[in-house]
Structure 1
Amino acid sequence: MALHPHLNDFYNEWLSKADNYDGRQLSDYFNKAFSLFTLYNKLYAEATFELARRNVITLSNTFPDRKGATEYAPKFIGYMPLYIAITDDQNCSDCLQSLIGHISDHDFYIKLSMPYGEPQIEKDNDLVKRLNSKIPSVKVTAILDLIYSVRCNMFHGNKQFDHVQVELLSPITVILRAVIITLYAALRDEL
């Protein structure tokens, strides 16, 4: 089965859109993140559906969004290709270390309780531990959990246009872009 042309067009258009935000304005960081999250959502949904079509996973009547983003995407790609894409690229690796430092220092709270958005420091500490893991599957899952949690905080939380968010969004978008490129390549090669 070939990759549907609409997916190619969607990928090219949204990646180009994200790449055109140059960081001259604070809103560029938010817009870049939103664009990349939109693209990642489309790609991990396609990977999830493909795994279901292959009978690797079983889907119910509701889409498993978090699982699609954090479990099914790496299951489709393979953990090692994602691990290599992130850890072998110096820019991605530096961005990950920056994020780990910010979360460790509690500059940012990633795991928030609902509906009040209260920090869950124990969960953030666990996330840092998993992000520092030398086991590829643990590290990759933690990275995707971090990305998905930031996405949820932006889409469903009360994240303000504040310059401090650049320290979070800038490195997240670098890593997310690498994940997207790796996932798209896997979809293109597999379908």
Structure 2
Amino acid sequence: MTQERGLEDVIRQRIRSLRLARGWSLDTLATRCHLSPSTLSRIETGHRRIALDQLVPIARALDTTLDELVESPDDEDVVIRPEPQRRQGITTWLLSRESSLPGVTVAKLRITDSDPLPVDKLGVHPGHEWFTVLSGSVRLQLGERTILVEVGQAAQFSTMTPHAITAHRGPVEVLSIFDRDGERAHLHPDNEQH
């Protein structure tokens, strides 16, 4: 019963926070979800139990889903315990969940490969990539250009340009954001069909 009550309190807080974030009064949200302002006020303050038939129109009015409104606030949704994935010269730790940001993957990479690639071996795929250097020095190859990216610096580039990221003078660690195409190309290269 306590856990159910705790979840109800979280749902009430979410409803109120989403309403306020949109700059809406109780009257505005009540009109949008076809409830009376007094009913909505009692729901937000905990003076009325929340019924499923009320949550659906409230979620719709707040432009969210019922699942997002009622999801459990347990630690498993917050804490990610990444397992290292190793392949030739690169260790990867995924720092985001598949469902966290649609089409976006955040990963930490430790790169030990230090040899520049010939231009004809550079990868190309649709999209953009972004990374910041946590330690070491990155050699970013973009076609014929080679750019050194140092600790604390970030790089963003179109992945339609032939590219490679390698270590320069020792191992390097980067925090990278990939779109779907970048994730497939760099984190799951064995699944690529050439």
More helix, by proportion: 1
- TM-score higher than 0.5 here? no
More strand, by proportion: 2
State TM-score, norm by structure 2.
0.27
Q: State which structure, 1 or 2, has the greater radius of gyration over its C-alpha atoms.
A: 2
